[in-house]
Amino acid sequence: MKKTIITILSTISFFSCKKEVVDTKPIEKQEIVINYADLGFAMYSDAVAKAKELKTAIDAFVAAPSQTKFEACKLAWQNARVPYAQTEAYRFYGGPIDNSENGREAYINAWPLDEAFIDYINSNSISGIINNPNLYPTISVSTLSDLNQATAETNVCTGYHAIEFLLWGQDLNPTGPGARPYTDFVDGGTASNQSRRRSFLVAVTDLLIADLQSVADQWDKSKTGNYRATFTSTAELNNSLAKILVGLGKYTKGEMASQRISVAYQNSDQEDEHDCFSDYTMTDIRNWQLGLKGIYLGTYTQSNGTKLTGTSFSSYLKKYNIDIDKNISEKFEATDVVLSSITTTFDQAIMATNADFPKIATLISNLRTQADAYPDIASKLGILNEFNVLNAEK
């Protein structure tokens, strides 16, 4: 699914010229940073655990393929998306997930994806790595890692969406998800190269687990010399606070509202849907928003039901500028109200004839307004300069 890729920076316009308000409460500010790091570790750890559950389902399926086990793999994929979706704002400041040296975001959640790079498509039954044993004799973790986006940005063969495509196949149904038959993985079944397809599914899942674990390790307080150690240091306090806010803002406005929602809405094109094979996008959107709000409130509910909470931007502002907290909280609530009112899947909601179509426009507007409030937090924290400098960077 080749899609229009827009530049995130062109959509970010919440640079603020407000006067810096110096506010010195370093201990509480430090607690905001520490809690953010704790939540990040919990989220990524849950993402690892759920990816391992996905692997368990996939291993059982490839060992003895059946329709029931295939459906179990799909459900495990959906469950695996829940914690990862809430981590999305831990981006856009060169952290463990997306730094230029060894960030793994492009291997974990790269999108859009050209299906023909991986496997057969409706117009070409022999396309992709799976159907080219002469060029790619071995399908392994290292093979997929080396090939991912090596020749083109849409030549994606790793991460959640590669797995999604293998489980659902192309979405050729305008009113539902893809319908790949499980027999694509059965020797002598549908399609061809079934054993290679099984090998691909196992390898891409193993790589996802390894990549997620590498990110989780960087937020682990039990480890020394990792990203967290520097991020939570007193010397980096103002920069770290600015990074959190820039991540929230750039993800909310540039990535989520604009690239992932607005492009599909403007085009009314189901091929522009983020989870276009499974039609799971609306659930992803709700979890993206849940993660954004959780960072602001300093809370996260783990997969086992345990609720983590700590010092946050919200708790800080409630003490020192309740009006700012009230304003931002109301913006989150407005977005949540719109999300709760959308009853159809995203691929249907972006159709102009659908009753949810105008709600998507409101959602986009609300998310952008939500992002525009973050400079107020930076100003109150006394880090507006750091925020503006970091926000201006690519």
What is the tens place of the pLDDT at every residue in 290-330?
Answer: 999 999 999 999 999 999 999 999 999 999 999 999 999 99
CA–CA–CA angle 184, 189, 194 (5° rounding) = 50
Give the separation between CA 324 and CA 359, rounded to whole angstroms: 26
pTM of the predicted structure, to 2 decimals = 0.93
45, 67, 282, 312 from 38: Cα distances, Å: 11, 39, 27, 12
Query: CA–CA separation, 347 vs 170, rounded Å?
Result: 14
Can you say whether the dihedral through the CA atoms of 351, 356, 154, 371 is positive or negative? positive
Please give the backbone phi and psi of residue 103, each rounded to the nearest 5 degrees, phi first.
-60, 140
Q: Is 99 left (phi over 0), alpha (psi -120 to 50) or beta?
A: beta
- Please determine, for residue 2, whether its predicted confidence score (pLDDT) is greater than 50: no
Question: Measured between alpha carbons, how far is 13 from 11 in angstroms, rounded to an integer?
Answer: 6
- Please give the residue that has the higher pLDDT: either 141 or 394: 141
| pLDDT tens per residue, range 110-149 | 999 999 999 999 999 999 999 999 999 999 999 999 999 9
Distance from C-alpha of 169 to C-alpha of 127, rounded to nearest angstrom: 13
With 0-12 / 13-18 / 19 or more C-beta atoms within 10 angstroms meaning exposed / middle / buried, residue 93 is: buried
Instruction: Check residue 11 and report its DSSP letter.
Output: G
Close Cβ partners of 360 (under 8 Å, ≥ 6 residues apart): 261, 265, 342, 349, 350
Residue matched to tokens 């009853």: 343
Q: What is the pLDDT of residue 336?
A: 98
Q: How far is CA 68 from the centre of its chain?
A: 28
Show the domains of the chain with their CATH numbers. Answer: 23-392 (1.20.1420.20)
Answer for the pair 118, 162: CB distance below 8 angstroms, yes or no.
yes
The structure tokens 């959780």 sit at: 294
Dump pLDDT digits (tens) for 7-51. Answer: 344 444 444 444 444 445 789 999 999 999 999 999 999 999 999
